[in-house]
Structures are given as C-alpha cells and as structure tokens.
Amino acid sequence: MRGRQQKYREFIEYYRDMILSGKMKPGEKMPTVRELMKIHNVSYSTVSRGLLELEKDGLIKREHGRGIFVSEKFRKVTKAAVFLPFGPKHDRLVSEVLKGIEETLNAHSYLPFVFAMDSEHDKRFQVFEEVSSEVRGVLFMPPEKMFENTEDFLEMISYLRSLHRKFPLVIVDRFPFGTEDYFNWVTSDHYEGMRKITELAVSKGYVNLYFIYHARYDRMSSTAEKKKGFIDASAGKNSTIITEKEFLESPLKYFKYSRRKKTAFIANDDALAERIILRLEEEGIPPFTDYGIAGFGNFAVRYSGRLTTVEQFPYQIGKSAAEGLISLIKGKKAEFRKKIPVKVEDKGSL
C-alpha cells in the first residue's frame, strides 16, 4: 500500500497540474471534500491537508456557503520548481528534504511548485514545460532509477543541462558523477562520513575490511565519494570493494570467522547493511556476533537501535539547497556548491 505521504503529494500535484496547465479555469468550482475523497480514494485528512496547501499557494479559495473555487488570480510571488522522487522507499528522506525546502522558500516569499517524480517522470517534465515561463529557478533531486542504466542516465544529464541553461538550478542530495564542476549542488559529505566510519572500524582492530555497494548506482556522486573515503581510510589494510550482488551470492567467501571479530562490512547505506545481516543469518551466523557491520544514512528499520551508521541531515540539505537557489536567483552568487556535515553514530555494531 502506498504511504499516506505519497497519496498526499499525488493529490496536491494533480490539482496543481490541472490549475497551472489551464485545464481547470480561474473561478471554476471544485468538487466538495466528500467528492474529492471518493474521486481520489483518500482520507478526509489527506484532502483537508491538500486543500490547505493549495490555498496557501494561492491556487484555490474557499467561499463560505458556496464551496471551493480555482483562484481568479494567483498570488504575485516568485515561483520555484522542485522536482523530487516520491514513493514508499523515499518517504522519510524526501519528506525531510522537502520540509527544509518549503519552509525556507516560504520564509523568503517564494512559492514552491513541487513535481513528484515516479515511474512517469516524463509527464512531470511535460507539465513543467507548460508552466516554466512562471518559474524563476529549479531544485532537482534525481530519482535513483535514473542512474541505473545508460539510456536513463544520459537522458537525465541532457535534461539537467537544458534546465541549467534556462534557469538557476541546484541539484539536491546526489548528482551525476563527473559533473561536480558543471552543476550547482548540495549533498551530504559522503566522503567524510565514509572516511570517519572506516577509521572507526580500523581503530577497533578490524583487519579485513569490505565496502559493499550497489553497482547500479556507480554513476551516482555519493557512491564515488563513499568509495574514495573508504579507500583513503583503509590504506595499508586488507581492504576490498565488492558489489551487493557479489556478496549476497557468496557471503561466506568474504566472511573470516574469528572469535575476535576481525572482519567488518561497511555498507553503502543502512538498507543494504540490513540485507547483509539477514543474508549472513541465513548462513547460520547470528547478527552482531562474529563480524562488525556499519551502514550509512541513519535510516535503518529492523536494526535502527543497534546498527552503527553515519547520520545525514536531510532537512538541512533541503534548507541549504533552497538558500543556494535564492542566492542564484538574486544574482548574489554565480555558483553554489555545498557539502552538509554528517555524524558517525556508534551503536555498537562495529
């Protein structure tokens, strides 16, 4: 079942698209709350929150005793487009990034137009083109799936380049590897986070160190930065970089049994760390016993209280990205690139 946050965003985006594209005309009456609940198969809370946001953005107005109407005239504010990936996998991270973006833009009298990218991101790009003349700048958080194959990856770079030529643009959280000197961006300090957590493993006496990552995200800046951090911190040690597929197919090949816990697995993210734990458990190796393990992100689910990890601050990422975009729009800066500090959370799994 889709998360409530995704349904809420889809409800808002549907009516933003309808109003901004002109499919719903100024002054046109909207369905009642009960009708909206039935049409979109959502709760009263989702409809109520969605209408409040549309009203706050100046897209609709309520008239007591008459109903809800499309505004005759939108508020005269500076508008910024915000492209974000939504779905159950992204809810927590993206919601915090969005909160930082929206609060910062609103505080500076900017109106965010949020385009929720999913499997139909091409349609969002099309809708954006219809309203792009009203937009002064763009924030773009690339969906992970756009990094997975060459065709989607090249399409993404082409689209980002076209946006960059037309608008002030800031890429949020991750960008295509190799473009760091071309685009503006705000990310977590992935290099420093991985360097610190690898150093922690070394300081605790681990001699066999593995960094395990998703091969399909090799084109992502965060993956490259984490690899570099691991390599620099493990120099002179018995360290190896392997893919998720390589490990999950033959976990015991990489596991050195020892009562003194000489082997440590450092995963690209918390979700992968949890998969590693479960895979070793399938081989009869209990969690947190004869090996060390760490993740990245502080988004663990099953082992959130026990998994050593690197904490990221998505709200701060969103806030800084919005501040950077505003400075570009106002011409205060010609470029904006920033890494948000991270923090190692030692919970005992190393």
DSSP assignment of 77-146 equals: -EEEEEEEE-STTTHHHHHHHHHHHHHHHHHTTEEEEEEEESTTHHHHHHHHHHHGGGEEEEEE---GGG
> Quick one: tokens of 162?
């076209």
3 state DSSP class of 301: coil
Strand partners, 211: 241, 266
Closest listed residue to residue 46, CA positions, set 12, 78, 21: 12
Q: Which residues contact 264 (CB under 8 A, 6 or more apart)?
A: 201, 204, 206, 208, 209, 210, 291, 292, 293, 294, 350
Q: Which helix (H) or strand (E) holds 202?
A: helix 190-203
pLDDT tens per residue across all 350 residues of the chain: 446 677 887 888 788 778 876 788 888 999 999 999 999 999 999 999 999 988 887 889 988 889 999 987 655 557 898 988 865 455 678 889 999 999 999 888 788 888 877 655 566 677 677 767 878 999 999 988 889 888 889 988 999 999 999 999 999 999 999 999 999 999 999 999 999 999 999 999 998 999 999 999 999 999 999 999 999 999 988 899 999 999 999 998 887 655 556 899 999 999 999 999 999 999 988 888 889 999 999 887 788 889 999 999 999 999 999 999 999 999 988 899 999 999 999 999 99
Strand partners, 81: 113, 138
Rounded CA-CA distance 162/166 in Å is 7
Rounded CA-CA distance 70/55 in Å is 9
pLDDT at residue 111, as a whole number: 82
Rounded CA-CA distance 280/302 in Å is 15
Q: Please, are residues 10 and 116 in contact by the beta-carbon 8 Å criterion?
A: yes
Radius of gyration of the chain (CA): 23
pLDDT at residue 107, as a whole number: 86
pLDDT at residue 3, as a whole number: 60
Rounded to 5°, the CA angle 256-260-261 comes to 50
pLDDT at residue 300, as a whole number: 73
The fold of the 1-76 domain, in CATH, is Arc Repressor Mutant, subunit A (1.10.10)
* DSSP state, residue 292: E
Rounded CA-CA distance 41/130 in Å is 28
Letter for the amino acid at 291?
A: Y
* DSSP state, residue 288: T
For the chain, the structural domain boundaries read: 1-76, 190-311
Q: How many Cβ atoms from other residues are within 10 Å of residue 26's Cβ?
A: 12
Q: How many Cβ atoms from other residues are within 10 Å of residue 145's Cβ?
A: 17
Rounded CA-CA distance 344/190 in Å is 11
Class of domain 190-311: alpha beta
pLDDT at residue 1, as a whole number: 40
* DSSP state, residue 297: B
